[in-house]
């Protein structure tokens, strides 16, 4: 039995426009025909016909930046410490299912506690659970100067952290070998440090020699690598090292952009985290005093050079940095597309191409997803409104009509919001210090 989808408009993920009156035929879990309805094989008596003639049909959407193990964290301690890895794996599975129900049939997880992400991936792939296709990294590799080593040195990087500390090239190479042995799909490291120099520039946490050695080992073992590179130095050294994908790139300068162009690296800004922080952070949030202003400034700086990168033809992948309190699972994945259009000058069609066929280049399934063509896996997202006219409609839950994963229709009934377990979160209990003076002040 085949399934015939008659599509009013079809975006195949490879171009930047949609075609009218197309038909997709699904046999088992794959697409066996895509083309004009007039040329399509005629459905037989037992075939199912699904009418999307008033709808817009796209390849299943892909978010390459979902931190499944973070649990919508409100603090670094939530990410690294408070819940046991076993609980995080269960929570991550529920998170992945929320992502799927929002129209995203594939995701990549760049930085995960222990083996949480690979285990959820394998649980889904073995058929135990329904969930999106997952491409996983392990813990993100960092140095004593790096993101991920954010606790005092007398605490260090705990075993349960999303980061893993390496203290030499040998240790970095060893960690890469361990993660590949543990069947990660790609390696994530942070090139950014935590501190700025006298010029105000964010310093990188690895030097050129170290980064180059790490990238060489990843490529020798046949895995791609992603570098967290927001600062000028991190962008430049990551690109020169031959990193496949650079996350963020906010403080890239012209020299960095030239290096990115020359290396053929892909950029993936993940601006949703910043924009949501600016838009949502309220008085009473501990970061209210500093973070929204800083991130507003970041968005401005980032936009400038990322626009230049787009004009220079640098490939872009799309990710939302979901998993934090400002980017909860299943909520803001498509907002990154709106941001690409609004701040970086992409057309809606270009942004959609980035989040489908371009994003698929990182995935385990490669060009079997992220496009609608003969022979690919039948991962399909169907919406009512045309996102080429208004890209923000992809964020509207009522606009999502159907999701197909491997030729099967996904149940889109929303899962209930899970209430946080009391030991999932860090223990900050008061946002003020109640001295007698402060209490009198508050009393007015």
CA separation for the pair 29, 259 (Å, rounded) = 41
**Residues in contact with 77: Cβ distance below 8 Å, sequence separation at least 6, in sequence order:** 425, 426
CB nearer to Zn ion: give 224 or 371.
224
**Residues in contact with 331: Cβ distance below 8 Å, sequence separation at least 6, in sequence order:** 102, 322
Interface with Zn ion includes 321 (CB under 5 A)? yes
CA separation for the pair 102, 12 (Å, rounded) = 19
For Zn ion, the binding residues in 195-234 under the rule CB under 5 A are none
CB nearer to Zn ion: give 13 or 110.
110
CB nearer to Zn ion: give 79 or 334.
79
Tokens 């995203």 sit on residue = 104
Q: SS3 for 308-348, per residue?
A: HHHHCCCCECCCCCECECCCCCCCCCCHHHHHHHHHHCCCH
Taking contact as CB under 5 A, which single stretch among the options 15-23, 208-216, 319-327, 428-436 is the one that binds Zn ion? 319-327
β-bridge partners, 4? 25, 49
Taking contact as CB under 5 A, which single stretch among the options 26-34, 54-62, 313-321, 376-384 is the one that binds Zn ion? 313-321
Minimum distance of Zn ion from residue 7's CB (angstroms): 34
- CA 57 and chain centroid, separation: 22
Minimum distance of Zn ion from residue 10's CB (angstroms): 32
Taking contact as CB under 5 A, which single stretch among the options 186-194, 253-261, 320-328, 423-431 is the one that binds Zn ion? 320-328
Q: Say if CB 146 and CB 205 are below 8 A apart.
A: yes
Burial 365-380 (b: 16+ CB within 10 A, else e): beebbbbbbeebbbbb
Size of the site for Zn ion (CB under 5 A): 1
Minimum distance of Zn ion from residue 225's CB (angstroms): 15
CA separation for the pair 61, 381 (Å, rounded) = 7
CB nearer to Zn ion: give 274 or 344.
274
CB nearer to Zn ion: give 321 or 331.
321
Minimum distance of Zn ion from residue 189's CB (angstroms): 12
Burial 401-434 (b: 16+ CB within 10 A, else e): bbbbbbbeebeeeeeeeeeeeeebbeeeeeeeee
Taking contact as CB under 5 A, which single stretch among the options 302-310, 317-325, 413-421, 431-439 is the one that binds Zn ion? 317-325
Interface with Zn ion includes 63 (CB under 5 A)? no
Minimum distance of Zn ion from residue 248's CB (angstroms): 9
Minimum distance of Zn ion from residue 67's CB (angstroms): 6
CB nearer to Zn ion: give 13 or 328.
328
CB nearer to Zn ion: give 191 or 378.
191
Minimum distance of Zn ion from residue 219's CB (angstroms): 22
Minimum distance of Zn ion from residue 273's CB (angstroms): 7
Cβ atoms within 10 Å, residue 238: 37
Residue nearest to Zn ion (CB): 321
CA separation for the pair 110, 68 (Å, rounded) = 9
CB nearer to Zn ion: give 78 or 321.
321
Q: Say if CB 314 and CB 260 are below 8 A apart.
A: yes
Residues that bind Zn ion (CB under 5 A): 321
């Amino acid at each position: 039995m085949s399934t015939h989808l008659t599509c009013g408009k079809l975006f195949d993920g490879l171009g930047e426009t949609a075609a009218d009156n197309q038909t997709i035929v699904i046999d088992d879990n794959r697409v066996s025909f895509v083309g004009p309805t007039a040329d399509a094989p005629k459905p037989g008596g037992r075939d199912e016909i699904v009418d999307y003639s008033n709808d817009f049909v796209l390849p299943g959407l892909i978010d390459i930046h979902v931190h499944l193990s973070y649990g919508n964290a409100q603090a670094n301690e939530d990410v690294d410490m408070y819940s046991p890895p076993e609980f995080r794996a269960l929570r991550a599975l529920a998170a992945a299912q929320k992502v799927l129900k929002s129209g995203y049939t594939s995701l990549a997880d760049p930085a995960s506690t222990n083996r949480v992400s690979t285990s959820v991936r394998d649980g889904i792939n073995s058929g135990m659970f329904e969930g999106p296709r997952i491409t996983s990294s392990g813990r993100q590799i960092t140095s004593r100067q790096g993101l991920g080593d954010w606790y005092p040195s007398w605490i260090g990087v705990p075993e349960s952290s999303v980061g893993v500390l390496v203290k030499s090239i040998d240790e970095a190479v060893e960690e890469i070998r361990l993660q590949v042995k543990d069947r990660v799909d790609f390696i994530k490291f942070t090139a950014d440090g935590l501190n700025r120099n006298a010029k105000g520039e964010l310093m990188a946490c690895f030097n050129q020699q170290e980064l180059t050695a790490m990238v060489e080992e990843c490529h020798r073992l046949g895995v791609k690598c992603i570098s967290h590179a927001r600062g000028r130095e991190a962008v430049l050294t990551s690109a020169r090292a031959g990193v496949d994908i650079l996350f963020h790139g906010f403080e890239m300068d012209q020299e960095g952009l030239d290096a990115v162009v020359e290396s053929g690296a892909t950029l993936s800004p993940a601006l949703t985290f910043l924009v949501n922080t600016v838009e949502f952070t309220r008085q009473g949030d501990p970061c209210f005093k500093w973070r929204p202003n800083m991130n507003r400034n970041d968005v401005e700086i980032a936009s400038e050079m990322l626009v230049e990168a787009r004009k220079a033809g640098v490939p872009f992948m799309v990710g939302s940095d979901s998993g934090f309190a400002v980017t909860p699972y299943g909520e803001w994945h498509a907002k990154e597309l709106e941001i690409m259009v609004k701040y970086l000058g992409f057309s809606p069609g270009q942004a959609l191409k980035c989040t489908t066929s371009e994003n698929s280049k990182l995935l385990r399934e490669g060009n079997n997803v992220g496009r609608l063509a003969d022979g690919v896996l039948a991962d399909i997202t169907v919406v009512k409104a045309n996102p080429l006219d208004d890209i923000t409609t992809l964020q509207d839950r009522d606009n999502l009509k159907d999701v197909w994963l491997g030729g099967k229709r996904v149940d889109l009934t929303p899962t209930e919001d899970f209430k946080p377990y009391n030991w999932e979160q860090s223990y900050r209990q008061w946002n003020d210090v109640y001295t007698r003076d402060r209490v009198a002040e508050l009393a007015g």
